[in-house]
Structure 1
Amino acid sequence: MAPVIPGFDYRRVPVADRVSLNVAVGGSGSPIVLLHGFPQTHLMWRHVAADLAADHTMICPDLRGYGASDKPAANANANANADPDTNADTNAETGADPTAYAKRTMAADILALARELGHDRFALAGHDRGALVAFRAGLDHPDTITHLACLDVLPTLDMWDVLHGTTAAVGFHLFLMAQPPGLPERMIAACPDDFFGHFLDLWAGDPRAIPAEVRTAYLDACRAAVPSIVADYRASAGIDLDHDRADRDGGRRLTMPLSVIQQDWGAALGYDAAALWRAWADDLEHHTVGYGHFMAEEAPVDIAKALRELLTR
């Protein structure tokens, strides 16, 4: 049996046509939704969620395409520059949705999830891929998201801008999964444990933070979700990028209190992370930390404390 967050109630909640999310819910009080990153599931929040459940209702879903949530088909060619008529017949035959893994769609899932659980407004925190979903939710639904936290990520538009030259090798997986459909999926599916395990090993500042049973759960979940994980990343090289561009050009900004916690990748890649985030947010607190990428598992007490402080703003 896969590990669970002790004391949390598990359920499947419908959020869209033929899409239900696996979600762990615990605690009581004002709601906080926590969104996981790659290559993880909701389990990455197990320590932070248990801490915050003392005085908040904690909602920890698997994102669509990940973990035990549904994995709708996606037209992997989809991007904002594509001709929708080109793939219309294929989409009709397969039931594929060209926007299935747009962060706008995934953010709408989270709002639908919260509403199904009885919450019209909530605080939202995301890590890595989940932070991109949270960022999009904050831009699209400012009246719903009361407070926002993004852990160890840059907005999609900025991420692609700063990756250049040989330093871009750190993000090789971004370029791989942005390729046209077929080859990335086949390559990753040929050795999924090696591929996903590479990131669990490389990005962990403290390998002990991800015990064997949790690592196994992550690898099992990713192995069963290669097409949808690739579709999620591919969307960030297409439709997500164009949504960010439209918002930047239109002057749309995050209006709720925002906390960003991230490693100092800017020093290595030559950018000012706080300045990039400041261009998106009216009320920003930016923290550079010395943890590894999996900071909610490596330093859960600090992350829980930071989220509590965010809620006082």
Structure 2
Amino acid sequence: MTPTTPAGSAGPAIPGFDHVRLPGAGGVELAAAVGGSGSPVVLLHGFPQTHLMWRHVAERLADRHTVICPDLRGYGASDKPPATGPDVYAKRTMAADVVALAAALGHERFALVGHDRGALVAFRAGLDHPETVTHLGILDVVPTLDMWKVLHGTSAAVGYHLYLMAQPPGLPETLIGNSADAFFGSFLDAWAGDPAALPEQVRTAYLRASAAAVPSIVADYRASAGIDVAHDQADLDAGSQLAMPVTVVQQDWGAHLGYDAAAVWKAWAPDLDHRLTRAGHFMAEEAPGEITAAVLDLLAR
């Protein structure tokens, strides 16, 4: 499927979806693509991407579900509030955005699937809003608290950007802003198992959107080295778990970094379906049929 470019749009869009702006939390507005009909499913994108990463999966799911694909706060066409405090880009705040956005569309309960950064938001939403999130899908992450635990030694070099963007404000924004296309493009190149899954039109859209959002992207990552860890630790100490069915699809990071990924997730999600994929990190674009099937299996539980 080739994404369309509606008149007046700054870039490609998901064909057949309406593109709207909706309220998030604290006065922030989020851009979102909405299509289909039926029970609602919210899809959250990862880094360095926008909601466009869901274009293939969204079209398939829209045959039987209302599909809502927002840009996270700080990304894409959504608002990018200044990081005046650690909570502005906390995953707890970004999860509240998603709940508010869905409510604005009339959905008090919905299934939620996230990839990468969006998966961390989805995880937090599942813990904070168990009465709202009916099913939870996670693509290619472990929870923030566990992520920092499993990165160690030279193998942690794969996550160098996590450490760079965790530094105090100033230097990371300057370094990344001065070489934005090279920085963000390096992840699109290194993480794609199938580069053809990111056609030039889409790649250009990702790079343009990321270059325009350097301070907020860094703030999102900085929160994951601070306030997000504190929130996860508090839930771990309280024995909190995800109450809904959870499906995790990820590359075999456990083998690469030396940990049991399924066991990490099982500690948080008693009702777990853990799957490994041969696709690269951008699996919703590289293997949309596989990811759509995993989501539909999740929703059937």
- For the superposition of Structure 1 and Structure 2, which TM-score range results when normalised by the shorter chain? over 0.9
One-letter amino acid matched to 1:145 = V
User: In 2, distance between residues paired with 1:260 and 1:225?
Assistant: 28
| 1:244-255 equivalent positions in 2, closer than 5 A | 244-255=232-243
Q: 1:39 aligns with which of 37, 44, 48?
A: 48
User: Residue 67 of structure 2 is aligned with which of 31, 50, 58?
Assistant: 58
User: What residue is the counterpart of 1:300 in the other structure?
Assistant: 288
2:215 aligned to 227, 230, 236, which one? 227
SS in 1 for 2:16: coil
> In the alignment, which residue of structure 2 is the partner of 1:73?
82
The runs of at least 4 consecutive aligned structure 1 residues that moved more than 4 Å come to none
Give the alignment of 1:109-120 within 5 angstroms. 109-120=97-108
Instruction: Measure, in 1, the Cα distance between the counterparts of 2:45 and 2:26.
Output: 22
Query: 1:18 Cα shift?
Result: 3.2
Classify the secondary structure of the residue corresponding to 1:279. helix
Match of 1:25 among 30, 34, 46: 34
User: Once the two structures are superposed, what CA deviation does each residue of 1:113-151 show, in whole Å capped at 9, x if it has no partner?
Assistant: 000000000000000000000000000010100000000
* TM, length-normalised to structure 1: 0.93
Amino acid paired to 1:195: F
Amino acid at match of 2:112: L
Q: Which residue of 2 aligns with 1:258?
A: 246
Answering whether residue 170 of structure 2 is matched by residue 182 of structure 1, we say: yes
Q: Which stretches in structure 2 are left out of the alignment for 5+ residues?
A: 1-9
User: Are residues 1:170 and 2:158 paired?
Assistant: yes
TM-score by length of 2: 0.96
2:17 is the counterpart of 1:8: yes
Query: Match for 1:160 among 140, 145, 148?
Result: 148
Name the counterpart of 2:4. Answer: none
Q: Name 1:87's counterpart in structure 2.
A: none
Tell me, what secondary structure is at the counterpart of 1:293? coil
Q: CA RMSD, aligned part only?
A: 0.6
How far residue 98 of structure 1 moved from its aligned partner, in angstroms, is 3.0
Q: Answer yes or no: is the 8 Å Cα contact 2:241–2:269 preserved in 1.
A: yes
Q: Percent identity?
A: 72
Structure 1: distance between partners of 2:23 and 2:300: 32
Q: Deviations over 1:128-179 (max 9, x none)?
A: 0000000000000101000000000010010000101011000000000000
Corresponding letter in the other structure for 1:39? P
Equivalent residue number for residue 147 of structure 1? 135
Question: CA–CA distance in 1 between the matches of 2:105 and 2:270?
Answer: 29
Q: Deviations over 1:46-95 (max 9, x none)?
A: 00000000000000000000000000111xxxxxxxxxxxxxxxxxxxxx
What is the DSSP-based 3-state SS (H/G/I as helix, E as strand, rest coil) of the residue aligned with 2:162?
helix
Q: Name 1:192's counterpart in structure 2.
A: 180
State the distance in 2 between where 1:123 and 1:60 align: 12
CA contact (8 A) 2:25 2:93 kept: no
The C-alpha deviation readout for 1:266-309, integer Å capped at 9, x for no partner, is 11110000000000011000001111000000000110111001
Secondary structure, counterpart of 2:232 in structure 1: helix
Q: Offset of 1:15 from its aligned partner?
A: 1.6
Corresponding residue for 1:216?
Answer: 204
User: 2:24 is paired with a residue of what secondary structure?
Assistant: strand
Matches within 5 A, 1:63-142: 63-74=72-83, 96-142=84-130
Paired residue secondary structure (2:88): coil
Q: Name the SS for the 2:268 alignment partner.
A: coil
For 1:278, give the aligned amino acid.
K
Equivalent-residue separation in structure 2 for 1:290 and 1:312 (angstroms): 24
In 1, the alpha carbon distance for the partners of 2:160 and 2:246 equals: 29
2:86–2:227 contact (8 Å) kept in structure 1? no
Alpha-carbon distance between aligned partners in 1 of 2:184 and 2:97, rounded to the nearest angstrom: 25
2:192 corresponding residue in structure 1? 204
SS of structure 2 residue aligned to 1:290: coil
